[in-house]
Amino acid sequence: MKKFVRASCLFAEAWCCLGVARVMLICMPFRKIAPFLGENISSSPPAPLRTTARSQRIRAAISRAAACAPWRTRCFEQALAGKFMLRYRRMSGIVFFGVNKTGDAIKAHAWLESEGIIITGGNGTEQYKVIARFKN
């Protein structure tokens, strides 16, 4: 029963954070959002190869909440919501922004990494050239 309550609370927190992230992305320019992401770093040291149950639970909660949200919850919203959740728990995380140019099309992607695992946006990150990293 405790696991269910804990997972439900994490789901509700993730759902609320996704909503706040979506409103921020609609109403605020990136220069106002950037301080929430942390310090812009040019390179990042390799992440430790350990995984914690806490980071895995956050990843699962964001994934479930994003699937149920009635608003857009793409990579940037999920990375921002995950950053809020990590900061609340005083966990470090790095938000990566990458681009991929194929022909005339340019695709952008954001993902969040913490404690050696990718929390959000993990699909196909190797296809993107990292253009910015933000670490708290």
Tell me how far apart the alpha carbons of residues 111 and 95 are, in angstroms, rounded to a whole number. Answer: 6
Q: Which two tokens stand for residue 112?
A: 């969040």
What pTM does this model have?
0.87
Is the dihedral angle over the CA atoms 17, 20, 26, 31 positive or is it negative? negative
Lowest average pLDDT, out of 42-51, 91-100, 110-119, goes to 42-51
**In which band, very low, low, confident or very high, does the pLDDT at 136 lie, cut at 50, 70 and 90?**
confident
End-to-end Cα, the chain, rounded Å: 34
pLDDT at 54 over 70: yes
Per-residue pLDDT, 42: 73
Tell me how far apart the alpha carbons of residues 112 and 106 are, in angstroms, rounded to a whole number. Answer: 20
Which has more pLDDT, 122 or 76? 76
Residue 70 is given by DSSP the state S
**In which band, very low, low, confident or very high, does the pLDDT at 52 lie, cut at 50, 70 and 90?**
confident
What class has domain 2-135? Answer: alpha beta
How many angstroms separate the Cα of 74 from the Cα of each of 30, 39, 62, 78, 108?
A: 16, 22, 11, 6, 11
Per-residue pLDDT, 99: 95
70-113 pLDDT, tens digit per residue, is 999 999 999 999 999 999 999 999 999 999 998 899 999 999 99
Q: Which two tokens stand for residue 10?
A: 């994490």
